[in-house]
A and B are shown apart, each in its own frame.
Chain A
Amino acid sequence: MAEPAATDPRAFRWPKIGWAWSDPAVRWSGWVTLLFSCSVLVFILFFVAREAWPVLSSVRLAGFLYGDPWQPLAEPPLLGIRHAWLSTLLVAGVALLVAVPFGLGIAVFSSEIAPPALRAVLQPCLELLAGIPSVVYGFFGSVTLVKAFEWWWGMPAGECILAAGLILSIMVLPFVASTSYEALRAVPRELREAALSLGITRAHMIRRIALPRALPGIFAGVALGFARAMGETLAVLLLAGNAVALPGGLLDRGQPLTALLATELGEAGLGSEKYHALFAAGLVLMLVTLLINMGIWSLKTRWMRHVRSHAA
């Protein structure tokens, strides 16, 4: 390990002019790399928007977002993404419906109920869940859940919105759980102790003290889970069924936005109308994700300020 700089004899040398160049050099190269790294976001936005521009500038934006079906082979081609964003909403909705109560339960258990030893096991387990790749979840779902659906309900093919949503719920569970857990940990200890010393039960304390106080953080966790669920590609590609019809129910096949992109981009001719429509769909996905992220950011800063002002 390095010696502390203060005991190093070289550290006591007065700075010379010859030595002084390194600091500005590092400072300026740091600036350059930082600007480059940050420009990546702008660059991605710019490039996706550039490729999407022909669709956005045409008068058929309403048709693209809402009116038209996705029929790229029709004459003229009809390129609407209504089925895709509807599928995305349905799949993400199912995922959150399962993951939020479950994740919140895990967070409450981990912060209020669990003995420390169990908490120490639970955290790595959630990290393990977050570390399994999307495509493995898709594969796992297609050999377990899809097969089970086919067997239970006699479906000819078990891929459907519900299967994709259930597997997605496992994938977003760690994000919901760990963000809610952090929010619950940030609730001041004195509040808990004061409540318990008044003789109310732990359940009552959780319901009336801990959860309301942690609500902004929990909400940030839910939003994070939603953004994650929207952006997952491979699992929904394998599980949602990849059909361009408008999904009518949870057992119908669907094609979320990400699956639409992954399916069609390889076959879209460069510069074709379909190519531009796919980039426009990507732009929609990106803008919604960025909006959610801004919401999370403002929630988080407000909630942190809240915690800090209490600590002061």
Chain B
Amino acid sequence: MSAPTLLEALPPRRRLADAACTAAGWAMGLAGILLPVAIVAYLLAKGLEHVSWNFLFDAPRGNPVGSGGGIGPAILGSLALTGLGLLFAWPLGVASALFLAEYAPRKRWPAWFRFGFECLAAVPSILYGLFGYAFLAVFLNFKISLLSGGLTLGFVMLPVILIGAQEAFEAAGGAYHEAGLGLGISKWYLVRRVLLPGAMPGILAATVLAAGHAVGSAAPVLFTASVVYSRGGMDLSRPVMTLPTHLYYLVSEAVSFPHAYGTALVLVAGLLCTNGAAMALRLWMARKKA
């Protein structure tokens, strides 16, 4: 083979390979954009006609139950469960994260704790359900109730909030942080006046993401909190309906597909709104930092 001259054209094989790579990349990228859009559009097209005020607020009716009426108690139940979980997980997660980011001796400890929390975040949600059932519902005798389910969801959300908050605390502060320390003000004052305000948008974004994930997951509440039918009264010691388990019941027992479309749409639309809010928060944060 002769030595290549300086401006030899690329062999056609190489140019073809490059074009093929570019084309395949574009195809997959566009498919990656179209896939979620198509799923949401499908749910919207099939479900929108079944969603009405009555569907949103009425209790399920009909025989079998769920084939008529609405999903009001399920929406309420999901909100109550997640709210209760947040009440438990948020202070715990933020305080732990603050300690890890600010107070812990800066050696190997934070890394090990971080590893533990990443493990916790990776545990499949059905195992939280198993744990909640064995520990909260049976061992502590909370029964299948709003309390058991809320605490279980709190356990699910805890590592997500904690990791997000830790990252937010570490990103906050910067020069103000060092200036404050240099002036000799107490650490708690620094936390209150510099770190917490700076980290709050990041913490809120992580919280919203965790809550959105918790609202949609049925596995942790399947055995700790949910029933097929309730009239919507909220009581800590009584079970509730939830949106994801209601959808599961409607589909697995083939009760009513129109209602299943409606329920799925309500669930996805709610999550889209919350995730959109989290994304906006993050964008706002990035812009403020820039």
What residues of chain A have their CB less than 8 Å away from a CB belonging to chain B?
A: 1-6, 8, 11-12, 14-15, 19-20, 22-23, 26-27, 29-31, 33-34, 36-38, 40-41, 43-44, 47-48, 51, 102, 105-106, 108-110, 112-114, 118, 121-122, 124-129, 131-136, 138-140, 142-144, 170, 173, 177, 199-204, 206, 227, 230-234, 237-238, 258, 261-262, 265-266, 270, 278-279, 282, 285-286, 289-290, 292-294, 297
Contact = CB atoms under 8 A, between A and B. Distances in A.
A203 B20 CA distance: 8
Contacts of A23: 186-188
A138 B154 CA distance: 24
B38 to A, nearest CB: 10
A224 to B, nearest CB: 8
B125 to A, nearest CB: 7
B29 interface: yes
B28 A102 contact: yes
B273 to A, nearest CB: 11
B192 to A, nearest CB: 9
B252 A37 contact: no
B251 A125 contact: no
B80 interface: no
Contacts, number: 293
Interface in B166-197: 176, 179-180, 183-191, 193-194, 197
Contacts of B91: 33
B216 A140 contact: no
A6 B98 contact: no
Contacts of B188: 22-23, 26
B194 A4 contact: yes
B220 to A, nearest CB: 9
The winner among A33, A234, A279 for most chain B CB atoms within 10 A is: A234
Contacts of B28: 102, 105-106, 109
Interface stretch (B51-59, B64-72, B114-122, B230-238): B114-122
A33 B158 CA distance: 12
B130 interface: yes
Interface in B133-186: 133-135, 138-139, 155, 158-159, 162, 176, 179-180, 183-186
B96 A11 contact: no
Given A36-B92, A231-B125, A234-B218, A133 B267 contact: yes
Contacts of B215: 133
B32 A122 contact: yes
Nearest to B46: A143
B25 A109 contact: yes
B22 A132 contact: no
Given A34-B100, A131-B271, A5 B123 contact: no
Of A106, A131, A142, most buried by chain B (CB within 10 Å of CB) is: A131
Contacts of B189: 5, 11
B40 A128 contact: yes
Nearest to A8: B193
B115 to A, nearest CB: 6
B284 interface: no
A290 B279 CA distance: 30
A102 B28 CA distance: 7
A202 B176 CA distance: 44
A84 to B, nearest CB: 12
Given A238-B251, A289-B124, A37 B158 contact: yes
Contacts of B158: 37, 40
B244 A133 contact: yes
Contacts of B245: 135
Contact of A38 (B17, B25, B117): B117
Contact of B176 (A6, A106, A200, A293): A6
**Can you list the 9 inter-chain pairs with the closest CB atoms, starting with the nearest?**
A231-B124, A133-B216, A30-B99, A105-B28, A203-B21, A109-B29, A201-B18, A109-B25, A233-B219
Given A30-B103, A37-B117, A202-B22, A11 B247 contact: no
Given A38-B113, A113-B29, A265-B133, A132 B191 contact: no
